[in-house]
Amino acid sequence: VILLMKAGSKTLLFPGDAQLENWQYALQSDLADMLDDVDVYKVGHHGSLNATPRSMWKRFRKKGGKDVADRITSVLSTKHGKHGSDEKETEVPRRTLVTELKAQSAFHSTELLADGVLCEAIEIDLT
């Protein structure tokens, strides 16, 4: 299930565990244009290899450096070293993805939380 919802003036994308096959279908459908203006992206499948296809990421119009007003917010729930392998470039989360998210979005990750902190409140203005 890929959940795309509007809340106020914002578009929020929650792809769950969607992988490449799910995205190929979604990106070829009549609904693909709805992805262009995503404001909040909950990174799919803990940042694994096929969960954020480049073709989808390229569609997001609101990505950009810190100087971009109203840039996309990305949220990643993950823990490095639990799945995949750095040597085989199957690590979760993908280093290349994290680098891109840090550079092109307001990035939040559970890996960035201080020891003993279990969550972070992220407020999104829906007006």
**Whether the model pTM is above 0.85:** yes
Q: How high is the pLDDT of residue 85? A: 86
CB of 53 within 8 A of CB of 84?
A: no
| Residue 89 clears pLDDT 80, i.e. is over it | yes
- CA 48 to chain centroid: 11
Residue-wise pLDDT for 36-88, tens only, equals 999 999 999 999 988 899 999 999 999 999 999 899 999 999 987 788 888 88
3-state DSSP assignment of residue 42: strand
Higher pLDDT, 79 or 6: 6
Secondary-structure percent of the chain, ordered helix, strand, coil, rounded to 5: 30, 15, 55
The full DSSP string for 1-46 is: --EEEEETTEEEEE-TT--HHHHHHHHTSTTGGGGTT-SEEE-GGG
Average pLDDT of the residues of the chain: 93
